[in-house]
């Protein structure tokens, strides 16, 4: 079933650029508070220190069928500043290139080629995922989109099913927990991320959108990385669902331990 992304509630409206007040909704704030509560040393601590960033350019897009990769590319277009892109146009291009039958994308390299063709951007396939701090720096880089495949649990969070529930996400921000901060500090696009010496990390959590929810998830870096690295098998349920899928010669190794970085040329 296609997720319902339309609502009469002001915080849920879909607009060309979501204001920071919308992106930092009560749900987002609650998820951040829940993460930080796990780092409180004792009952007397009221908060844990962290810096956070959330890209406010993303318009959530619902997938219709196995289109998670194409939907992630459509959301990447928002970050890259590319207008007039539709999921249907991306799908037709992918189908013409024999990358997909139904919208599935089982190759990071194919996603890179598709993005370069559709967005006239540069692409970089990284393996494995960048380190915590490097990923935070990438997320703070202007007009930089980061797409990561992972195993999707029933609650949409990263899990470990050997690739049987492979799904695409786009990273849009982070919460970096650090003793260098006494409380939570939100960064905007003009703020500079501290260096490694200035930002000793306890942990990093990543904001991510995908085609099955209008709300950004907040996932632990290590869990997403391990989920990304466990993509090994196509899975019997998907193989027997009545659809014909296109896989690269390397099968799920086309996704495993890889991510895609997109930037304007």
DSSP 3-state helix, strand, coil percentages of the chain (rounded to 5)?
30, 25, 45
| Selection from 235, 243, 82, 93 nearest residue 167 by Cα | 235
Looking at residue 157, the DSSP 8-state letter turns out to be S
Helix (H, G, I), strand (E, B) or coil at 176: strand
Verify whether residue 68 is a known catalytic residue: yes
Cα 86 to chain centroid distance, Å, stands at 19
Are the CB atoms for 207 and 171 separated by under 8 Å?
Answer: yes
Please give the angle made by the CA atoms of 157, 241 and 238, to the nearest 5 degrees: 40
Catalytic one among 68, 121, 136, 259?
68
Catalytic residues: 68
């Amino acid at each position: 079933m296609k997720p319902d992304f339309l609502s009469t509630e002001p915080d849920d409206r879909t607009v060309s650029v979501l204001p920071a007040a919308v992106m930092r909704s009560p749900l987002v704030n609650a998820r951040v508070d829940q993460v930080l509560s796990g780092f409180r040393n004792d009952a007397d601590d009221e908060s844990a220190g962290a810096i956070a960033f959330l890209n406010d350019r993303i318009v959530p897009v619902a997938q219709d069928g196995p289109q998670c990769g194409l939907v992630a590319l459509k959301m990447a277009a928002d970050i890259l500043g590319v207008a007039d892109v539709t999921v249907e146009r991306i799908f037709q291009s992918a189908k013409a290139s024999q990358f997909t039958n139904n919208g599935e994308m089982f190759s990071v390299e194919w996603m890179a080629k598709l993005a370069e063709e559709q967005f006239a951007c540069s692409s970089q396939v990284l393996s494995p995922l960048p380190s915590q701090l490097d990923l935070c720096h990438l997320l703070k880089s202007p007009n930089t989109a980061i797409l990561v495949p992972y195993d999707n649990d029933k609650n949409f969070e990263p899990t470990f099913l050997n690739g049987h529930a492979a799904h695409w996400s786009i990273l849009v921000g982070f919460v970096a927990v650090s003793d260098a901060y006494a409380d939570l500090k939100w960064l905007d696009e003009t703020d500079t991320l501290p260096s490694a010496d200035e930002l000793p990390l306890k942990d990093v959590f990543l904001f991510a959108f995908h085609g099955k929810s209008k709300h950004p998830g907040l996932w632990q870096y290590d869990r997403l990385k391990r989920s990304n690295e466990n993509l090994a098998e196509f899975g019997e349920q998907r193989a027997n669902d009545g659809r014909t899928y296109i896989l690269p010669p390397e099968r799920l190794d086309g996704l495993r331990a890889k991510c895609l970085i997109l930037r304007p040329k």
